[in-house]
Amino acid sequence: MRFNVFAVLGGSAATVAFLLHPSSALAALDAEASYVLNSFSFLIWGALVMWMCAGFTMLESGSVRTKNASVICLKNIGLYSIAGLMFYLVGYNLMYVDVSGWIGSLKLTYGVTTDEIALLGGDSSVAPAVLDKGYSTMSDWFFQMVFVATTASIVSGTLAERVNLWSFFVFIIALTGFIYPVVGAWTWGGGWLSEMGFQDFAGSTIVHSTGGWAALAGAIIVGARTGKFRDDGSVKTTPPSNVPVVTLGVFILWLGWFGFNGGSQLALAGATDAIAISVILSNTNLAAAAGVLFAIVLSRPVLGRVDLLAGLNGAIAGLVAITAGPDIVNHNWAIIIGGVGGIVCLFGMKFMEIIKVDDVVGAVPAHLFAGIWGTLAVCIAAGGNLFVQIVGVFAIGVFVFGISTVVWYIISKTMGARVAPMIEELGQDAGELGIEAYPEFVLMPEDD
């Protein structure tokens, strides 16, 4: 290879010029570059959020007894599929299209625009109209869709080991096709709560509390697992069947949360967005770490032992708590918000036992209780109005819990919300699916 001194001198000169004039690096991106980066970021962040479904699957399948692990796997891949179809058929339009204050459009299906179709066909004259939107239509749809699946996953864990598979799927249709989109229309869709100034950056209430309220309604209607709460007032412990898998699930959720919160910046078109996303991801990580440690430290005085599951749920609670305002620039507040989230979850787990509501994975304390705290915590450092935040939490809670209770009640009176006692005792894997997750294991009889 020949040495070209002129090329070297030219490159050196360009480098010196760049260093002497760094402002050139901050020049605004052109419309097409912004469009590509925004669209690509939606797709990548969305893929990370979709991966959270794997985390929920691991968390739930490891938390239940081995005789119910296969059903958990089917429920999670089923709910993700239902969420995608329902959000395509009706959900996105209800949430974002022509929102009148309370609800969006009732028309069916959602897809690429006519200009995008024309551009795909080679008509470059429509390029300015396409680029003016700032991102591709279906990249936005995909990113919004995976949030719906997260909401549905919360319900799955709470009702594990006794809810009927098909009854669960029917409820998920209602949740992803109507309940969640209406909440989204009120808030992110520009509806009445948005007009009041309600703040929820990535969904502490809109996503997580919605899932938590729906799960709580289901737990009340479906009832506790047989023998969970004994007549003498004691609580039957049901330790997880696979602790490493539960831990893996939490790490996957933690990773996916970077897409959940970071992607909610909804842009990656310049230095400002890059800085904002860096702040968001850092705060997300700090809050989760604080949630873990606060929960572990307090688990001995509250639960009588250093509790691994409390620490794992503390991570999730810290993540949920910071989700309403991860864009705060003071990182110390992220630690406080996440740490308090872990504490709220820890006491919430104890509270659920006191009121005798059976939540297998602790989803209601981690997602509902910590979600409420995180939504109110926006008032501390992210400029939220306390009255408006309380109105939003209350309105969404009443709506979601009320509608979910009605839907679960109808399901229980028609299809039957829970499995037969024989199937519950045998295990849903063998009783409903005819396949066991761990066929080599010998089933051991339980004391009760």
pLDDT, tens only, 337-350: 999 999 999 999 99
Nearest to 60 by CA among 127, 128, 157: 157
3-class SS of residue 36 = helix
* Predicted confidence (pLDDT) per residue in 215-271, tens digit: 999 999 999 999 899 888 888 988 899 999 999 999 999 999 999 999 999 999 899
Tokens of 387: 């009255």
- The Cα–Cα gap between 205 and 183 comes to 9
If one counts every other C-beta atom within 10 angstroms of the C-beta of residue 102, the result is: 12
Distances (CA, A) of 25 to 31, 35, 40: 16, 19, 21
pLDDT greater than 90 at residue 436: no
| Predicted local distance difference test score (pLDDT) of residue 152 | 95
pLDDT in tens, 307-339: 899 999 999 999 999 999 999 989 999 999 999
Task: Please list the alpha-helical segments (H only) found in 200-270.
Answer: 210-222, 243-262
Considering the domain 32-267+279-432, what is its CATH architecture?
Orthogonal Bundle (1.10)
| % of residues, the chain, pLDDT over 70 | 92
Q: Give the whole-angstrom CA distance, residue 311 versus residue 297.
A: 9
Any bridge partners for residue 229, and if so which? 235
Separation between Cα atoms, residue 123 and residue 345, nearest integer Å = 55
Closest CA to 405 of 222, 149, 226, 228: 222
Residues constituting the chain: 448
Residue 19 has pLDDT above 70, yes or no: no
Q: Residue 1: pLDDT band by 50, 70, 90 thresholds?
A: very low
Task: Tell me the three-class secondary structure of 108-129, residue by residue.
Answer: CCCCCCHHHHHHHCCCHHHHHH
pLDDT of residue 304: 83
Residue with tokens 């872990």: 342
pLDDT tens by residue, 125-170: 999 999 999 999 999 999 999 999 999 999 999 999 999 999 999 9
> 270-317: per-residue pLDDT in tens?
999 999 999 999 999 999 999 999 999 999 998 888 889 999 999 999
What pLDDT shows up at residue 2? Answer: 43
- Split at pLDDT 50, 70, 90, the class of 199 is very high
Q: Determine the Cα–Cα distance for residues 345 and 161; give it in Å rounded to an integer.
A: 22
Longest dimension (CA), the chain: 90
* Number of helices and strands in the chain (H, E): 20, 0
State the average pLDDT over residues 383-407: 97
Q: How far apart are the first and last CA of the chain?
A: 80
Token pair of 42, please? Answer: 């939606």
**pTM of this structure:** 0.90
Given a cut of 80, whether residue 91 has pLDDT beyond it is yes
Predicted pLDDT at 5: 42
